[in-house]
Structure 1
Amino acid sequence: MPLLVMKFGGTSVADLGRIENAAKKVQLEVERGYDVIVIVSAMSGKTNELVGWVETTSKLYDAREYDAVVASGENVTAGLMALRLQEMGVPARSWQGWQVPINTTSAHGSARFVSIPRDHIDAKFAEGFKVAVVAGFQGVSAEGRITTLGRGGSDTTAVAFAAAFGAERCDIYTDVDGVYTTDPRITAKARKLDKIAFEEMLELASLGAKVLQTRSVELAMRFKVRLRVLSSFEDTDETSGTLVCDEEEIMESKVVSGVAYSRDEAKMTLVSVEDRPGVASAIFGPLAEAGVNVDMIVQNISEKNYGTHTGAVTDMTFSVPVNQVARAQKAMQDALDAGIVRYDDLITDTDVAKVSVVGIGMRSQVGVAAKMFAALAAENINIKVIATSEIKISVLIDRKYLELAVQTLHDAFELEKA
């Protein structure tokens, strides 16, 4: 039988009524002739509650016990979903991660997949079961301990199962009806995309779009898993939602497909860093060791006196999430104290935001940057930092101009038009 993977997020299984609604969508696909693997998240809010219980019980908790507790939310949902399907006459069985088994590394809280054997679930399908309901977000280590996969782990579980079982498609059911050209809460002109390329979705996800988790898109792109994002709360058919697929499936792309943003950014500048081979490593090595996620990097060279030494110096500017500023400041101060790097000052601006335009059409079109900068200039929005890749252009601007910038760029590239 053809196989389909269906994933339901926390809001889609938030209570018994929503679990029943999700089960009806599964039943419909079974009636269409599919065997179905259903990946479920914990009921909305349950994971946060479990994390809170762990942190209240033990400030310096054992990560292995943390995973044992936090993974239980998905186990409850899987059992309830299987029971509901059975009540509807659909042969279904639930599976916890260790029962499949979903083999992972031993990095508790951020484990990665090693393998997903098909034998046990294939055997149940052969017996006549139509649905395997699998608890997402979890697996089992080589030591036999329960592991969890970190943020967005259920999305990643769904894609991994689709790859392992050669599924026709992986449907991600969530509280939105697809991927939009930008956040509809910022501009009413935002348009739902019928299709988007893996690379574009990966950029949008990494730049702040919350529809899909970055790791799941990376996995889908690697194994060519066709993803469909659609709403749990609407009637759907084969044309519903947004298909995330290979670039070759998209006949003709607009130059820009979407505008993404990240509100919580900070800009940090090391002033008068000695310009010598290895200085970038001396800066970004300590930041990496401190767990700071550096994004945009700009280096400006100038010739000036550096203390008692006359020579080339550089200003090094980079962006980090605003909640990692203190960690970055400490890492740079420690590096200065240890003599790893020398600089005159560290200037931090925590009132910035990042806005990006993304599109595979940029590869073959010129003038995208000029159009973007002209549109922002027309609204008197000053650009602080620019970073580019083959299919994206990102800028840092004052946070107060974020909504205006998103609306301006959406209009400039006419993204409301199909």
Structure 2
Amino acid sequence: MALLVQKFGGTSVGSPERIEAVAAKIKQYRDNGDDVVVVVSAMSGETDRLIGLARALSEAPPPREMDVLLSTGEQVTIALLSMALQKRGCPAKSYTGSQVHILTDNAHCKARIQGIDGSRIQQDLKEGKVVVVAGFQGVDEQGNITTLGRGGSDTTAVALAAALKADECQIFTDVDGVYTTDPRVVPHARRLERITFEEMLEMASLGSKVLQIRSVEFAGKYNVPLRVLSSFQEGPGTLITYEDETMENALISGIAFNRDEAKITVLGVPDQPGVAHKLLGPVAAANIEVDMIVQNMAPDGATTDFTFTVHRNDYERALEVVRRTAGEMGAREVAGDDKIVKLSLVGVGMRSHAGIASTMFETLANEGINIRMISTSEIKISVVVDEKYLELGVRALHDAFQLEAPAAG
């Protein structure tokens, strides 16, 4: 008998019929003797509908009230799924995040989990119940409802698995595992049987939408075995685990890409100590995350050019902050571009193999794709290119590193 935490995303619970199918799947695990805690997202489209209602009333809805509003989406799902389980003779009990004391900080709309009291859940499991918990939400010390940011149900599931010392955290989604890249871009992409926490962390941070980055961080930190499975078909999925000897055979595990990129360039900044802090400090103070950074000495030798990337949603706000700061610093010009994307190679095999970067650059050059920025780490290489080259670049790299699925037969 195992203790499993299972998470079902919005498409998995997107209609009464799909909720019935999820209930039937959960009952199979229960019938096999497993204890099950289920974390669910709002039904697909529901969060967008709620955001639309808020924006119909206010261009800038108060974050606290947005959390109160958005948390209702998951509340609908936990009740419906519990009903479907009980109908099948499977005892079930639903809880919101606050009811099971998922304690967070007070950063509305992007809160972080600080602790979980699992005693109520453990008591229900002892009584033979399936516990159904609303993902994506918690409560701060003042009793305010908080939400964890888009995709936060994954984080809820992994955090619960860590708190309950579950045998496995299973993320059920609309794909049957983690692929070498998005199969919608490269139809012959291959499902990975396993991938390291480190690689999955890079894939998630670089644009892979299979798992939310904080959920992978949690899983790695607390050594929670994590498996990505399909809600709609049987299969082993992809196990996310620690690195082992077999993984050294693979040079590259996957290609991630992110369409949500924008870059800002500040030209002619006086070349003095502390330039980066003076430019990026106000950006950080505005709660805007900066990703890639490049600084180059200008031809005059007295000034420097500074380029960095931000999420496209933060582009206009970041541009406004930087223009104000750059003006105070006496910079010559501020330019921006929100029509860029980031392509990234990820693989623990990079540690022991030279020549990956040169193969990547040569492949893109052969396709006439100009590289705007480059960033590297021990197990990843990322480049920024024009948005129009995204699919061409991903396909060319996928072929160059021979990541395709083996031919049938």
| TM-score of Structure 1 vs Structure 2, range by shorter chain | over 0.9
C-alpha distance in 1 between matches for 2:316 and 2:241:
39
Deviation at 1:265, TM superposition (A): 2.4
Q: Residue 383 of structure 2 corresponds to which residue in structure 1?
A: 395
State the AA in 1 paired with 2:158. Answer: V
Give the equivalent residue in structure 2 for 1:133: 132
Question: Which residue identity lines up with residue 273 of structure 2 in the other structure?
Answer: P
5 Å-filtered alignment, 1:70-219, equals 70-129=70-129, 131-219=130-218
User: 1:44 aligned to 2:32?
Assistant: no
1:390 is displaced (CA, Å) by 0.9
SS at match of 2:302: strand
Report deviation, 1:356.
0.9
C-alpha distance in 2, partners of 1:61/1:322?
Answer: 20
TM-aligned CA distance change 1:96 to 1:249, over 3 Å: farther
Identity of aligned residues (%): 53
Q: Equivalent of 2:257, from 256, 261, 266?
A: 261
Deviations along 1:270-311, whole A, 9 cap, x unmatched?
22211111011111112222333322111112451xxxxxx5
Stretch of structure 1 that moved more, 241-250 or 159-168: 241-250
Gaps of 5+ in 1: 305-310
Amino acid at match of 2:302: A
Structure-to-structure mapping, 1:330-349, within 5 angstroms: 330-337=320-327, 339=328, 341-349=329-337
Q: Distance in 1 between matches of 2:386 and 2:304?
A: 24
Tell me the equivalent position of 1:279: 275
Q: Is the 8 A contact 2:279 2:326 kept in 1?
A: no
CA distance in 1, matches of 2:114, 2:168: 22
Contact 2:247 2:349 in 1 (8 A): no
Preserved contact between residue 41 and residue 74 of structure 1 (Cα < 8 Å): yes
1:128 Cα deviation from its structure 2 partner: 2.8
- Count residues in correspondence: 406
What is the distance in 2 between the residues matched to 1:153 and 1:98? 15
Aligned mates of 1:373, 1:169 — CA distance in 2: 39
Structure 1 residue 360 corresponds to structure 2 residue 348: yes
For the residues of structure 1 that align with 2:109 and 2:347, how far apart are their CA atoms?
33
Partners of 1:322 and 1:235 lie apart in 2 by 37
Report the secondary structure of 1:353's partner residue: strand
**Does 2:312 align with 1:322?**
yes
Shift of 1:103: 1.7
Query: Please, what is the CA RMSD of the aligned residues?
Result: 1.8
Deviation at 1:71, TM superposition (A): 1.0
> Greater shift after overlay, 159-168 or 351-360?
351-360
Aligned to 1:307: none
Specify whether residues 411 and 12 from structure 1 end up closer, same or farther in structure 2 by C-alpha distance, changes over 3 A only. Answer: same
The SS at the match of 1:100 is coil
Contact 1:253 1:360 in 2 (8 A): no
Once the two structures are TM-superposed, the CA of residue 249 in structure 1 deviates from its matched residue by: 7.7
Cα offset for 1:107? 2.3
Give the AA of the match of 1:261.
F
* 1:227-238 paired onto structure 2 within 5 Å: 227-236=226-235
Q: Partners of 2:71 and 2:246 in 1: how far apart?
A: 38
Q: 1:64 to 1:330 in 2, by over 3 A?
A: closer
Query: Which of these residues, 302, 307, 310, is aligned with residue 312 of structure 1?
Result: 302
Structure 1 counterpart SS, 2:244: helix
TM-score for both structures, normalised by structure 2: 0.94
Asked whether the 8 Å contact 1:297–1:316 carries over to 2, the reply is yes
Measure, in 1, the Cα distance between the counterparts of 2:189 and 2:73: 34
Structure 2 counterpart of 1:70, one-letter code: L
Change (3 A) 1:59 1:385: closer
1:308 maps to none
Change (3 A) 1:138 1:249: farther
Q: Relative to 1, partners in 2 of residues 1:328 and 1:73: Cα closer, same or farther, differing over 3 Å?
A: closer
Q: Would you say the 8 A contact 2:326–2:334 is kept in 1?
A: no
Structure 2 residue identity aligned to 1:117 = D
Flag structure 2 segments of 5+ consecutive residues without an equivalent. Answer: none
Distance 1:265 1:68, change over 3 A: closer
Q: Which residue of 2 aligns with 1:405?
A: 393
Structure 2 CA distance for aligned equivalents of residues 23 and 256 of structure 1: 37
CA shift for structure 1 position 417: 5.2
1:111-142 CA-to-partner distances (Å, cap 9, x unmatched) read 2212111211111222232x111111111222
Q: Is the 8 A contact 2:201 2:216 kept in 1?
A: yes
Q: TM-score, normalised by structure 1?
A: 0.92
2:288 to 288, 292, 299: 292
Alignment partner of 1:71: what SS? Answer: helix
Change (3 A) 1:416 1:300: same
Q: Aligned partners of 2:261, 2:97: CA distance in 1, in Å?
A: 36
